[in-house]
Structure formats: structure tokens, C-alpha cells
Structure 1
């Protein structure tokens, strides 16, 4: 069994090439578009959802079969054609160019796999079964979604705002590190979950920093 390295990539504005435009390509394209990738799809036809995304300018469609050279300039490659021979050819070109490639028809032919993804604002949770069962990964992702509710989005936004203020207001390394550790001890998540949290003003944040500077 391959042991994959979990990693989060910033693909905002970066070229990602996908070969194939059917249902599998549609599923793999969704998180790429959400992450802001400059997605190019090479395929004679597109699914309805992908065609709508192309018409809206969210991706670029090259309406023809895959040809060698289509991967030039990409940072990631997805081989998601309905034809396994095409996917294998895409994988070979990607390996020759040193590009990470995901192969939909045969995961072991690629160099990375795509996990199930749960997003709550700044929070991203990725779930994979290392090829044992994509439907199982999807079910596990749904179970995690039940544990991590929508309140995590404002909670993490709040922590980010407070963390930024701490770094601005406390230049000394030791007290700043102490303040940052105390952020995780703030009991505001339950208040957000129950809808009773009162947003902090800049004055509230400064007062919290001042009162927690000392041991």
C-alpha cells in the first residue's frame, strides 16, 4: 500500500490541466475551481456543469482530444478521460515532465490521489482511504461534517483576527508566544454554536491582550 504525504497546495491562479470532460472530470474539477486554479480542460466534449463553468469563464475548454504538449506549463495534471489508454499516455507525459499527476482510471499509475474534502471557511479537512473505497471516504467525510458544524467558520475567523492583533500589539517574543498559546483556551466556540456569542470590538481585543500579557 502506498503511504501518501498529506499536503495542502496553493493553486490560486496556477495552471492545472485536466484531460477529460465527463462526470469524473466534473467531480475532480469542483475543488480546483473552488481553490481558484486556472483550470484548462482538454476534451472533445464537456458535461453540462463543466460546459456552464466554461461559458461563465471559470475554466478554459480546448475542444479536441488530448495531444502531447498539452501539459506544458502546468503545475498539476489530471488524467480523467473515459479512455484508459489516453489516461496512461497523459501519465507518461506528466512523469517525463516531472509533473504531479492524478489518474482517475488507475490510481497507482499517478503520483497523487484526491481526498474527500470538507470546508468550513478557513478549516479544510481531507479524508482518504488510500484507494480502498472512494464511497467510504465520502461517507466518512459526511460523518465529520456532522461533528464540525458551520460555527467553525466564524470561530476560526475570530481566532485569526485575534492572532493578527496579538502579533501587532505584542512585539516581544516570549509574551507574544504566551498570548498565542492562550488563544486556544478561549471558550467562545460553544457560544457561537448556541448563537450567544457577542463579537469583540477592537477595544475588547486590546483589553484581552493587555490582561493576558503577564503570567
Structure 2
């Protein structure tokens, strides 16, 4: 099997189409909204959760069965219906129009996969099996979630602040790397706990102070 090319998409302000109105469509829709996407939802019926989002004005709901015109201006498509024939037709349309499409539970019809994700603030860890076993990806995510706590979000935010200051204050790329390596040397995240987090907090503060002097 040819390998997949992993990528992270910027969806803020982009129109994304979800076809389907059940629980899976709801989960996919909420994920898109969290990314700032403009969601167009096509389905005759919706779950209560989706109805609430529509009432809030966060979703454009087209209350009918999918039509090809629904693809106009769309950046990507997630197909979450239980109609095999419709799913196949949508995938065919998307292929012809060069629109990325994910048909839930059908990797053969999909041009991209939605990974299982762990989110800690701006930190996002994606796990995919290339469509082979979404269940395995979920189980692995569940185990990793036990190891990666909320302190990782704090650390990423702090390192982002330091990195921006370094880019502003230090012109030499080698010195930039040296600053960051001193804060986060190899092995830092092994057996990461609150004690190590406190050490990193102090290192980050010291680095910021030295840059602002």
C-alpha cells in the first residue's frame, strides 16, 4: 500500500459541506466548527444537537436530500449518510471537481481520512491507520490521553511565547536554536510530571527575562 501524506488544514472561514444529519454527522460538524469552518449541512432530518447549532446560526442547513449544486464553493466534504449509493455518487462528484472528500467508514471512496485526535490547547496529536482500523486508532488515543495531561497545553503556549520573542530579538538562526534547546533538551518529556513542569516554567521565565533585558 502506498503511504499517506499527513497534513493539517486551515479551515477558518472556509465552506465545508457535511452530508447527513445523524450522530456521526453531528460529531464531524462540531469538529469543523471548532476549527472555524463555515459549515453547510445537507440533510432532511437532524439530531437535536445539530438543530441547536442551526438555531444558534452557526450552521447553514439545507433541509433536503443532497444535490450536486450543494458542492458549489465548497472546500472539502464529509459524507456521513447510511445511503451507499448516495455516498458513492458524492465521492464521484468530488473526484471530478477536485474537492477532498471523506466518506465515513469507507476508505475506498475517501480522498482523505479524519484521524483520531488528542487535543491539549494548541497541541494536537493525530493518529491514523490509513482507514484500516479506526477502532485501533481510538484505543491508542485513549491510552495516550492518560499520559498527556493539561500541563502539555501550558508548556506549548509558553514555548510559543518564547519562540516569538526569540524571533523578534535574535537574528542568528543558530542562536535561536540554542535558546530553544537549552529550554527543551532531548529527554525532557520522558516521564513528564508536575515537578518537571515547574522546572520548565522557571526556565521559560528566565529565558523571557533575558530576552527582554
Length-normalised TM-score, structure 2 = 0.87
**Equivalents in 1 of 2:189, 2:74: separation in Å?**
43
**Equivalents in 1 of 2:189, 2:20: separation in Å?**
46
| Aligned twin of 2:20 | 20
Residues 19 and 202 (structure 1), Cα distance of their counterparts in 2 relative to 1, 3 Å cut: closer
**Equivalents in 2 of 1:203, 1:6: separation in Å?**
34
Contact 1:2-1:130 at 8 Å conserved across structures: no
| Aligned twin of 1:37 | 37
| Aligned twin of 2:194 | 193
Length-normalised TM-score, structure 1 = 0.86
1:71 correspondence with 2:77: no
Contact 1:45-1:63 at 8 Å conserved across structures: yes
| Aligned twin of 1:183 | 183
RMSD: 2.8
Secondary structure of the corresponding residue to residue 69 of structure 1: helix
Secondary structure of the corresponding residue to residue 166 of structure 1: helix
Q: Count the aligned residue pairs.
A: 211
| Aligned twin of 1:61 | 61
**Equivalents in 2 of 1:118, 1:108: separation in Å?**
25
Greater CA deviation, 86-95 or 129-138? 129-138
Deviations 1:168-200 (A, max 9, x none): 222233322322333323969989724973866
